[in-house]
Amino acid sequence: MTGKPPKHVLVTGGAGYIGSVLTELLLERGYEVTILDRFFFGDTIADLRRSPRLHVLRDDIRWCGDGVMRGIDAVCDLAASRMTQPESWTPPRRWKSTTRGEPASAG
């Protein structure tokens, strides 16, 4: 880091419990923010959409492609599946839902 604060932050899971609060704080502090989220829990960021510095990508971190990183200075990686989501009930399934690969123990 050069000491200059990052200007454009990518928040994966930005529509989630923590991500939406973080996004609001970043916007308040003058950052440009891109949210990358599947929106499993609906449009939880309706209030934030008024900001011209907010960009929203409704996509999956597993197959969104490297293009999402274009122009990004920093990443806050908060996309995750909750234990209350059926796909998260076993560790291998939880792993698969938020990574591109699979754990060695997944059978």
Ligand X SMILES: NC(=O)c1ccc[n+]([C@@H]2O[C@H](COP(=O)([O-])OP(=O)(O)OC[C@H]3O[C@@H](n4cnc5c(N)ncnc54)[C@H](O)[C@@H]3O)[C@@H](O)[C@H]2O)c1
Instruction: Please tell me whether residue 38 binds ligand X under the rule CB under 6 A.
Output: yes
Of 9-17, 24-32, 48-56, 88-96, which segment contacts ligand X by CB under 6 A? Answer: 9-17
Instruction: Please tell me whether residue 34 binds ligand X under the rule CB under 6 A.
Output: no
**For the chain, give me the number of helices (H) and strands (E)?**
2, 4
Nearer to ligand X, 9 or 15 (CB): 15
What does the DSSP assignment read for 44-93?
TTGGGGG-TTEEEEE--TTTS-GGGGTT--EEEE-----TTSGGGSSHHH
Instruction: Please tell me whether residue 81 binds ligand X under the rule CB under 6 A.
Output: yes
Instruction: Please tell me whether residue 9 binds ligand X under the rule CB under 6 A.
Output: no
Number of residues that bind ligand X (CB under 6 A): 21
As given in the structure block, the two tokens for residue 16 are: 């989630």
Instruction: Please tell me whether residue 41 binds ligand X under the rule CB under 6 A.
Output: yes
